[in-house]
């Protein structure tokens, strides 16, 4: 757990992650639409940021390799979401760093994600780079694969 006077960051359940994914990433859709294959895998973990005991930001880290990267030990970042009124205050950055530090300790070498076009600047600020061409995820829009090498 990471705690300071304003917030705390800790591991959360998949159900808690769904509760923030829904309004941020699947607005107007059912909770079932917020469930990802692999949410309950043993290697998957979910990270949440709480302000005064209210969960406001989540991210999920899943063991999954992308052929665009050569590293053996890869994780995928999924469901990166901060409640709208709290966006742009560094909480996304903090939660990402927390998850990345867990992965680095596990010896994971590469983290990657399918980044929505609108979120590309956020990932770039966190030292992720675009790999390959853009692609479309139906009902969501244009995405880029972005990755970052860990532990160097
Ligand atoms: C993208 C997101 C996770 C970033 O978290 P955050 O806490 O808002 O971001 P931070 O404060 O750590 O970083 C700030 C940077 O994020 C980006 N950002 C801020 N608000 C954003 C928003 N509403 N949507 C997308 N990117 C945003 C900007 O590049 C910003 O930099 P700037 O202030 O210099 O312009 C969050 O804004 C969000 O949940 N957006 C909607 C859902 C989404 O797009 N998720 C990513 C799916 S791949």
In 3-state terms, the chain is what percent helix, strand and coil (to 5)? 30, 40, 35
Q: How confident is the model at residue 37 (pLDDT cuts 50, 70, 90)?
A: very high
d(CA 6, CA 10): 14
Specify if 15 maps to a domain: yes
Specify if 115 maps to a domain: no
Specify if 48 maps to a domain: yes
Ligand 1 pocket residues where CB is under 6 Å: 24-25, 80-82, 87-93, 115-116, 118-119, 121-122, 125
Q: What pLDDT score was predicted for residue 145?
A: 98
Residues 6+ apart with CB under 8 A from 61: 44, 45, 46, 47, 75, 76, 77, 78, 99, 102, 103, 111
Using the atom order of ligand 1, give the atom closest to the CA of residue 25: 42
Q: Which domain holds residue 66?
A: 2-109
Instruction: Concatenate the DSSP letters of all residues of 3-30 into one string.
Output: E-SS-EEEEE-HHHHHHHHHHHHSTTS-
Q: What is the CATH number of the domain that holds 96?
A: 3.40.630.30
- The number of folded domains in the chain is 1
Q: What pLDDT score was predicted for residue 2?
A: 78
Specify if 70 maps to a domain: yes
Whether the model pTM is above 0.75: yes
Using the atom order of ligand 1, give the atom closest to the CA of residue 94: 12
Say if residue 84's pLDDT is above 90: yes
Cβ(78)–Cβ(36) under 8 Å? Answer: yes
Specify if 128 maps to a domain: no
Specify if 40 maps to a domain: yes
User: Which residue, by CA, sits nearest to atom 36 of ligand 1?
Assistant: 82
* Span 90-98, average pLDDT: 97
């Amino acid at each position: 757990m990471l705690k300071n006077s304003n917030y705390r960051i800790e591991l959360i359940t998949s159900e808690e992650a769904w509760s923030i994914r829904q309004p941020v990433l699947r607005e107007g859709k059912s909770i079932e639409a917020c469930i990802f294959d692999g949410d309950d895998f043993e290697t998957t973990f979910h990270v949440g940021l709480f302000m005064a005991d209210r969960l406001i930001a989540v991210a999920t880290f899943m063991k999954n390799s992308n052929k665009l990267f050569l590293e053996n030990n890869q994780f995928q970042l999924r469901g990166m979401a901060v409640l709208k009124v709290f966006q742009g205050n560094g909480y996304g950055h903090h939660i990402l760093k927390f998850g990345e530090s867990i992965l680095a300790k596990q010896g994971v070498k590469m983290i990657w994600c399918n980044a929505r076009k609108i979120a590309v600047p956020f990932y770039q600020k966190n030292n992720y780079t675009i790999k390959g061409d853009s692609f479309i995820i139906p009902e969501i829009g244009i995405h880029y694969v972005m990755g970052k090498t860990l532990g160097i």
